[in-house]
């Protein structure tokens, strides 16, 4: 769930307690249909919306479900101060003895692509109140974590099957940074599986070597920005490439997004190598689709090449099974394909990360990958 435009910095709480790595289970949740907002008729066997987990916030602890999102930086969730958050579980700060109001409020407006929907105009708006409180997950506890209470949100958030977001960008603020200050190794790992496999997990401060095969290969981050991004010398589709696809590009890895975004010309060049019958859907600009009864027989292997820290090329492959993200709500005989066209972004999310165990090494400013053991 990369947010285009916004970034807010938090203040960290620092404590002297030893923290050890913990693995937590991530639950897969599909967004429910909301007739007021255009959504896909989701196919739950092939499509995974968001991996969600519960944080415990406050004293006594209140459960807040969040998406661990490598595309953003802060912890934000719905609160009882938010009259427009009625469809989410709301945190009640008046019931927490460790809650401290931070005294500043700001409103942010941004575009984002929720689930497999296209990135649309600036129609997401949140009003956020700064605060600190104790936060725990999976036995790890951090006091005085910088967070933001959502006090107002636009109806575009109503469909979210969770209350908020825990940013896990390269700058690792808030909860994760607080744990690193307690001595936790400065990395986390994700095992995001297809819905049919389940058992998705995140290991905070470590690597779960039972969840992949072989030895992870590491690549250095392309830039010191908040986004997790790697340089790619090119990509191939079904073993073929062309002059546009073999150009170098910087690719963002975003665990809070289900599908893939490329500029429109790259998107269309990839689809041309899969089937000439994959066409834009004019009802939802940025999306593409093809007849559902043809989609499962189409080979659509996308190999994205990267370069390891020792200079060796390696591919991260998206298998053909990811081609369909389910039928369009407006036309159920046409299935949406996994890449949305959006000029200015090269971004991969769940459709790749479900097949590759991923290591997000904040301290080493690098990412590691190994084939997920599914």
Ligand X SMILES: *[C@@H]1O[C@H](CO)[C@@H](O)[C@H](O)[C@H]1NC(C)=O
Q: Answer yes or no: 254 catalytic.
A: yes
Catalytic site residue from 117, 133, 160, 254: 254
- The yes or no reply on residue 313 touching ligand X (CB under 6 A) is yes
Binders of ligand X among residues 349 to 368 (CB under 6 A) are none
Binds ligand X by CB under 6 A, chosen from 98, 303, 307, 329: 303
Binders of ligand X among residues 182 to 241 (CB under 6 A) are 236, 239
Q: How far is the CB of 239 from ligand X (least distance, A)?
A: 4
- Tell me the chain's radius of gyration from C-alpha atoms: 20
Neighbour count for residue 27 (Cβ, 10 Å): 14
- The yes or no reply on residue 43 touching ligand X (CB under 6 A) is no
CA distance 287 to 48: 17
Alpha-helical segments (H) within the chain = 174-181, 264-272, 292-295, 350-353
Q: How far is the CB of 253 from ligand X (least distance, A)?
A: 18
Q: How far is the CB of 313 from ligand X (least distance, A)?
A: 4
Paired sense of beta strands 356-361 and 279-280, if any? unpaired
Binders of ligand X among residues 233 to 252 (CB under 6 A) are 236, 239, 244
For ligand X, the closer of residues 37 and 244 by Cβ is 244
Q: Which of 357, 325, 332, 186 is nearest to 257 (CA)?
A: 325
Binds ligand X by CB under 6 A, chosen from 63, 265, 309, 333: 265
- The yes or no reply on residue 268 touching ligand X (CB under 6 A) is no
Q: How far is the CB of 315 from ligand X (least distance, A)?
A: 4
Instruction: Extract long-range pairs of 242-251: CB within 8 Å, 24+ residues apart.
Output: 242/269, 242/273, 244/269, 245/269, 245/270, 245/273, 249/346, 250/222, 250/223, 250/346, 251/304, 251/306, 251/346, 251/347, 251/348
Q: Answer yes or no: 331 catalytic.
A: no
Contacts with ligand X, residue ranges (CB under 6 A): 236, 239, 244, 263, 265, 303, 305, 313-315, 343
Which residues belong to the active site? 69, 254
């Amino acid at each position: 769930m990369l947010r285009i435009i916004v970034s807010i910095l938090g203040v960290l709480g620092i404590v002297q307690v030893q923290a050890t790595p913990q693995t937590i289970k991530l639950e897969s949740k599909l967004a429910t249909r909301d007739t007021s907002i255009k959504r896909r008729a989701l196919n739950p066997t092939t499509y995974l919306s968001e991996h969600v987990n519960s944080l415990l916030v406050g004293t006594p602890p209140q459960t807040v479900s969040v998406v661990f999102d490598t595309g953003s930086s802060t912890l934000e969730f719905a609160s009882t101060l938010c009259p427009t958050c009625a469809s989410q579980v709301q945190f009640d700060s008046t019931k927490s003895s460790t809650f401290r109001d931070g005294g500043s409020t700001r409103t942010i407006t941004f575009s984002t692509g929720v689930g497999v929907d296209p990135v649309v105009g600036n129609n997401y708006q949140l009003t956020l109140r700064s605060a600190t409180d104790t936060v725990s997950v999976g036995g790890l506890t951090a006091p005085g974590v910088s967070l933001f209470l959502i006090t107002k949100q636009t109806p575009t958030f109503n469909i979210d099957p969770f209350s908020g977001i825990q940013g896990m960008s390269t700058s690792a603020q808030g909860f994760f940074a607080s744990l690193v200050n307690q001595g936790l190794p400065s990395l986390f790992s994700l095992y995001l599986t297809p819905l049919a496999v389940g058992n998705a997990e995140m290991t905070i401060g470590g690597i779960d070597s039972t969840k992949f095969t072989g030895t992870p290969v590491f690549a250095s981050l392309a830039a010191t920005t908040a986004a997790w991004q790697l340089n790619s010398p090119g990509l191939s589709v079904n073993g073929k490439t062309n002059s546009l696809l073999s150009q170098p590009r910087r690719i963002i890895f975003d665990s809070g997004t289900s599908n893939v975004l490329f500029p429109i010309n790259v998107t269309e060049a990839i689809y041309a190598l899969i089937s000439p019958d994959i066409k834009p859907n004019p009802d939802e600009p940025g999306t593409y689709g093809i007849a559902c009864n043809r989609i499962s027989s189409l080979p659509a292997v996308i190999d994205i090449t990267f370069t390891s820290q020792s200079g060796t090329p390696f591919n991260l492959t998206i298998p053909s099974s990811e081609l369909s993200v389910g039928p369009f709500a407006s036309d159920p005989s046409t299935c949406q394909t996994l890449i949305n066209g959006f000029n200015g972004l090269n971004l991969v999310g769940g459709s790749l990360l479900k097949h590759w165990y991923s290591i997000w090494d904040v301290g080493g400013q690098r990412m590691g990958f190994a084939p997920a053991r599914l």
